[in-house]
Amino acid sequence: MERVERDPYGSAVKLLAREASKLLEEKGVCIEERPEYLVSPPPKPEYGDLSFPAFRLAKPLGLKPLEAAETLAERVRAAAAGSIIGRVESVGGFVNVFLDAAGLARRVFAAARTLSGEFGRVPVDEPLRIVIEHTSANPVHPLHIGHARNAALGDALARLLEARGHVVQRRFYIDDMGRQVAVLAYGMMKLSESGGPAEPRGKPDHWIGLVYAITHTLVDIKSTRRRLEEAREAGDEDRVRVLQEELDDLVGAAGELRERDPELFDALADAVMADEDPEESIARIARAYEFREEWAVKLVRSAVERCIEGFRETLEGRMGIMFDKWDWESDLVWSSMVGRLLEEARRSPYFTLHKEAEALDFKHLQRDPEVRSRLGLPETLEIPPLILVRSDGTTLYTTRDIAYSLYKFRDFNADRVINVIAAEQRLPQLQIRLALLALGYRREAFNMIHYAYEMVNLPGVKMSGRRGRYVALDNLIEAAIQKAGEEIAKRNRGLGEERTREIARQVGVGAVKYALLGVNAAKPMVFNLDDTLNFERNTAPYIQYAHARASKILAKAGGNIPWDVVDYNAADKHPARRRLLVEASRFPYIAAKAADELRPELVAEYLNGLAEIFNTWYPQDPVLAERDEGARAYKLGLVYLVKTVLHNALNLLGIPAPEEM
């Protein structure tokens, strides 16, 4: 049991790659740093299960392409004894490998059987301690679909890395020191002063979002009116026109907001309009909070806590995306961590004064060739000096983020920190790494990864948190669950109301996650709810359905598989059966690759392919009707393998796999 091979397929890949490397090494040449990348499944089944383009080796070995392929094939044949590599052919410069299906099945079945929920985990030799910070949405409005992409990615990365044996910590950064939070707090203050409804109605973050949007819009209306007034007095026609347009737009937004809660809106409107200078009131709250004055702490924290409560309901409660730590930006400042960082900055050779403000200048640092190559800096990129402290003595977001970056390394004794943050934050993320270098934190700078993802748009929706124009993630998920429930009800097999609801939740949430994870993070995407809810191919429900079918076949067989009588020679007797075995065996290899390359979409793509192959196979090669005892046992073993892989792979993406649906 302890000697079970976790990844037989991967071993075959490695054997092929190793023989190619050795061949080159013996000749004293070195071209490909990792020949493993050259091993791939060939385009046609008659070419075998694995192929290696041996043309590459021809020139360095001083051979003709066909000779090189034959030489390598010969070596692989010799090395293949006792492995799952069967026939090895040399065709047109390729080395094609046919796996021994019976041997492969024997090993993979044993692995799936003994490892079960752990099957697919291939631990690295030297596990790392890795922090993943993700989602970290501004706590002033509900989460939307963009945050969902962030959360789904962060969670999937964490799961993938854990499956690789790394020790992972998930953190959420609560950015409570920005102006946006001060605006929200101001709104809350005015609300309680005016005796308006000061307690959340409905989900707390939705309510907070409304208070924030109303307050922000009212404050903007007030200041726009004032500027309009000034422009009129100055007789600046063009400016008057522009401001008038802006004001009309704001008033329109205010109208929309009022419709959502007239009582709340009117209470806030009266209070804000009565304020001489809202901007100053907001700035006062921000300052008082930074200096930890009790009234401000109470005010801000209670508002932000409500919003966070809503976030947790959505992320942890609904989506199953859990966090280990919730870090408050304000704690960093109050704890003097930011202060100490500034001390260090002032002693740095890169410290400079930019006008009145304290700053770091990276001009010299970015010429360092190692810095350039490791951070991937383009030659001509001009990185602006990074202001650390305003001339009024207050800190900036990025300053605090530098302190936070160090904190993440220290608090968890981390080897690596991955920040899942929108692609538009590239420059500030780069500046943080440069700042760490400037302060002498090389290890941290080179081990902090910005995992950038592009925007998610909803068709026909222009989002604006400040104006309250957004589609909340809760509503999208709700729609997905609703639709899933209808589909389940259509099939109507007396699952019972509660069970139906639970499965609908798993299917709906899974569909949303899969849609977000299936596309490479570097691509901007349009989230089309109709497509997501289509539940056809290339969706989570399609894959979950295959899993449910597999589960059902096993259940009908009585729940246990007669492993003792499995006839492994049955593996090769049917083309679709054989193909399914090979594809299912690829899982540990794929999971390891997806983890090492931080690419959850590889798992998503793999899952879809496996489900498809399973769906092709089972109607043409029935399991339960099989008369031969050994073959039937083999097929049950295969179904078990597929079910295990589907389950575990979905789990890597944070998607549940119901037994029935």
Residue 279 lies near RNA (rule: CB under 7 A): no
Task: Count the neighbouring beta carbons within 10 Å of the beta carbon of residue 238.
Answer: 8
Applying CB under 7 A, among 64, 426, 442, 443 the residue interacting with RNA is: 426
Q: Which stretch binds RNA (CB under 7 A): 30-38, 150-158, 330-338, 367-375?
A: 30-38
For RNA, give the closer residue by CB, 265 or 587. 587
Least separation, in Å, of the C-beta of 592 and RNA?
A: 12
For RNA, give the closer residue by CB, 169 or 608. 608
Site string for RNA, 459-488 (x = CB under 7 A): -------------------------x--xx
Q: Could you please report the per-residue DSSP string of 612-655?
A: HHHHHHHHHS-STT--SHHHHHHHHHHHHHHHHHHHHHHHHTT-
Task: Count the neighbouring beta carbons within 10 Å of the beta carbon of residue 519.
Answer: 18
Please give the structure tokens belonging to residue 282: 């907001």
Nearest to 314 by CA among 154, 203, 169, 170: 203
Least separation, in Å, of the C-beta of 227 and RNA?
A: 16
Applying CB under 7 A, among 156, 184, 529, 661 the residue interacting with RNA is: 661
Q: Which stretch binds RNA (CB under 7 A): 122-130, 189-197, 310-318, 384-392?
A: 384-392
Residue 289 lies near RNA (rule: CB under 7 A): no
Structural contact between residues 431 and 381, judged by C-beta atoms closer than 8 angstroms: no
Residue 363 lies near RNA (rule: CB under 7 A): no
Nearest to 433 by CA among 421, 424, 423, 441: 441
- Rounded Cα distance, 286 and 281, in Å: 9
Applying CB under 7 A, among 42, 127, 197, 200 the residue interacting with RNA is: 42
Structural contact between residues 157 and 147, judged by C-beta atoms closer than 8 angstroms: no
Q: Which of residues 514-533 bind RNA (CB under 7 A)?
A: 518-520, 522-526, 531
Residue 361 lies near RNA (rule: CB under 7 A): no
Give start and end residues of each alpha helix (H) in 40-166.
Answer: 55-61, 65-79, 101-115, 145-163
Residue 323 lies near RNA (rule: CB under 7 A): no
For RNA, give the closer residue by CB, 222 or 574. 574
For RNA, give the closer residue by CB, 87 or 201. 87
Applying CB under 7 A, among 60, 127, 165, 428 the residue interacting with RNA is: 428
For RNA, give the closer residue by CB, 1 or 522. 522
Q: Which of residues 439-458 bind RNA (CB under 7 A)?
A: 454-455
Nearest to 282 by CA among 140, 431, 421: 140
Residue 302 lies near RNA (rule: CB under 7 A): no
Q: What does each C-alpha distance from 423 to 152, 209, 518 come to in angstroms?
A: 16, 24, 18
Please give the structure tokens belonging to residue 152: 């789904």
Structural contact between residues 345 and 439, judged by C-beta atoms closer than 8 angstroms: yes
Enumerate residues 6+ apart whose C-beta is below 8 A from 597. Answer: none
Count the residues of the shown chain that bind RNA, applying the rule CB under 7 A: 97
Q: Which stretch binds RNA (CB under 7 A): 208-216, 365-373, 467-475, 613-621?
A: 613-621
Q: Which of residues 150-209 bind RNA (CB under 7 A)?
A: 175, 177-180
Q: Which stretch binds RNA (CB under 7 A): 202-210, 247-255, 536-544, 579-587?
A: 536-544
Residue 493 lies near RNA (rule: CB under 7 A): yes
Q: Which of residues 219-278 bind RNA (CB under 7 A)?
A: none
Applying CB under 7 A, among 301, 612, 630, 651 the residue interacting with RNA is: 612
Applying CB under 7 A, among 110, 240, 357, 598 the residue interacting with RNA is: 357
Task: Count the neighbouring beta carbons within 10 Å of the beta carbon of residue 263.
Answer: 11
Please give the structure tokens belonging to residue 657: 């796999």
Please give the structure tokens belonging to residue 503: 């499965």
Rg, Å, the chain Cα set: 30
- Rounded Cα distance, 444 and 26, in Å: 39
Please give the structure tokens belonging to residue 540: 């989570």
For RNA, give the closer residue by CB, 109 or 618. 618
Residue 356 lies near RNA (rule: CB under 7 A): yes
The CA-based angle 441-446-450, given to 5 degrees, is 115
Question: What letter does residue 385 receive in the DSSP assignment?
Answer: P
CA dihedral 52, 58, 60, 61 (to 10 degrees): 100
- Rounded Cα distance, 526 and 463, in Å: 13
Enumerate residues 6+ apart whose C-beta is below 8 A from 520. Answer: 599, 601
Q: What does each C-alpha distance from 213 to 68, 180, 276 come to in angstroms?
A: 68, 10, 20
Residue 282 has phi, psi (to 5 degrees) of -65, -45
- The single residue listed with the structure tokens 């602006």 is 384
Q: Which of residues 385-414 bind RNA (CB under 7 A)?
A: 387, 390-392, 396-398
Residue 575 lies near RNA (rule: CB under 7 A): no
Applying CB under 7 A, among 336, 464, 569, 616 the residue interacting with RNA is: 616
Site string for RNA, 79-118 (x = CB under 7 A): ------------xxxx-x----------------------
Least separation, in Å, of the C-beta of 118 and RNA?
A: 25
Residue 553 lies near RNA (rule: CB under 7 A): yes
Least separation, in Å, of the C-beta of 150 and RNA?
A: 14
Least separation, in Å, of the C-beta of 426 and RNA?
A: 6
For RNA, give the closer residue by CB, 228 or 602. 602
For RNA, give the closer residue by CB, 264 or 515. 515
For RNA, give the closer residue by CB, 265 or 419. 419
Host H or E run for residue 100: none
Structural contact between residues 491 and 560, judged by C-beta atoms closer than 8 angstroms: no
Applying CB under 7 A, among 30, 381, 461, 565 the residue interacting with RNA is: 381
| Neighbour-count burial for 559-596, b at 16+ CB within 10 Å, e otherwise | eebeeeebbbebbbeeeebbbbbbbbbbbbbbbbbbbe
Least separation, in Å, of the C-beta of 541 and RNA?
A: 4
Applying CB under 7 A, among 301, 605, 630, 651 the residue interacting with RNA is: 605
Applying CB under 7 A, among 324, 326, 622, 629 the residue interacting with RNA is: 622
Applying CB under 7 A, among 199, 276, 382, 497 the residue interacting with RNA is: 382
Give start and end residues of each alpha helix (H) in 421-469.
Answer: 426-438, 442-446
Applying CB under 7 A, among 423, 458, 479, 598 the residue interacting with RNA is: 423
Least separation, in Å, of the C-beta of 298 and RNA?
A: 20
Applying CB under 7 A, among 27, 30, 37, 241 the residue interacting with RNA is: 37
Applying CB under 7 A, among 14, 18, 38, 63 the residue interacting with RNA is: 38
Residue 64 lies near RNA (rule: CB under 7 A): no
Q: Which stretch binds RNA (CB under 7 A): 43-51, 155-163, 404-412, 648-656?
A: 43-51
Applying CB under 7 A, among 3, 347, 355, 462 the residue interacting with RNA is: 355
